[in-house]
Amino acid sequence: MILVHDFGINLNMYAYKGMENDFPSLNVCPSCHSMNDLHRHGFYWRYGITEEITEKIPICRLQCPACKMTFSILPDFLIPYYQHTLHTVLDQTETAITREKGPGLRQLVAFYKRRFLKHLQWLHSFFIDQGMPVTFQCENKNATKYLTMIRDFGESTFFRRSKGHLSSYFMASPV
Sheet with 54-63, side-by-side order of all strands? 2-5, 70-75, 54-63, 39-49
Judged by CB under 5 A, the stretch of 58-66, 98-106, 117-125, 157-165 that binds Zn ion is: 58-66
Q: How far is the CB of 63 from Zn ion (least distance, A)?
A: 9
Q: How far is the CB of 33 from Zn ion (least distance, A)?
A: 7
Among 1, 13, 28, 32, binds Zn ion (CB under 5 A): 32
Distance CA 158, CA 89 (A): 14
Decide if 161 contacts 108 (C-beta within 8 A): no
CA nearest 108: which of 85, 89, 94?
89
The reply on whether position 64 binds Zn ion by CB under 5 A is: yes
The reply on whether position 29 binds Zn ion by CB under 5 A is: yes
The reply on whether position 66 binds Zn ion by CB under 5 A is: yes
- Residue 45 burial (CB < 10 Å; 0-12/13-18/19+)? exposed
Judged by CB under 5 A, the stretch of 56-64, 91-99, 117-125, 127-135 that binds Zn ion is: 56-64
Distance CA 124, CA 138 (A): 7
Looking at the Cβ atoms of 39 and 87, the one nearer to Zn ion is 39
Decide if 35 contacts 65 (C-beta within 8 A): no
The reply on whether position 31 binds Zn ion by CB under 5 A is: yes
Looking at the Cβ atoms of 32 and 128, the one nearer to Zn ion is 32
Looking at the Cβ atoms of 19 and 35, the one nearer to Zn ion is 35
Task: Please give the residue ranges that form the binding site for Zn ion (CB under 5 A).
Answer: 29, 31-32, 64, 66-67
